[in-house]
């Protein structure tokens, strides 16, 4: 699992069966200093997250398991809101 910031939404009305109603969102993974790390990716949202939220997400096969139907072509899923993340005593990803 990783920390990320939700930076946008993706809307695709025509999609693989089983993915109806699943929110797709752009997320930017963050490093231990809270700065962007690596490239942004699209994840399905298992929570009601939206742009600006600090979240944690899982990648790989487990992404699909977080969806309402687990046999769907998904490789990343937002699992939770992050209220506070601390690295070496310093809060990160604030704002």
Nearest alpha-carbon partner for 27 in 90, 79, 92: 79
Quote the Cα angle for 31-60-72, to 5°. 135
Closer residue to other proteins in complex, CB, 13/36:
36
For residues 51-70, which are near other proteins according to CB under 8 A? 56, 58, 60-63, 65-66, 70
22 sits near other proteins (criterion: CB under 8 A):
no
* Nearer residue to other proteins within complex by CB, 18 or 80: 80
Piece of the chain touching other proteins by CB under 8 A; list 5-13, 18-26, 86-94: 86-94
Please return the burial class of 6, using the count of CB atoms within 10 Å of its CB with bins 0-12, 13-18 and 19+.
buried
If binding is defined by CB under 8 A, does position 86 make contact with other proteins?
yes
Q: Which residues here bind other proteins, judged by CB under 8 A?
A: 1-3, 30-32, 37, 46-47, 56, 58, 60-63, 65-66, 70, 77, 79-89
């Amino acid at each position: 699992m990783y920390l990320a910031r939700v930076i946008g939404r993706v809307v695709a009305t025509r999609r693989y069966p089983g993915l109806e109603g699943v929110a797709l969102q752009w997320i930017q993974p963050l490093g231990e200093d809270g700065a962007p790390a690596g490239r942004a990716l699209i994840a399905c949202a298992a929570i009601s997250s939206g742009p600006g939220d600090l979240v944690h997400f899982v990648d790989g096969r487990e992404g699909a398991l977080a969806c309402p139907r687990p046999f769907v072509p998904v490789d990343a899923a937002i699992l939770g809101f992050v209220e506070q993340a601390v690295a070496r005593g310093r809060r990160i990803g604030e704002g």
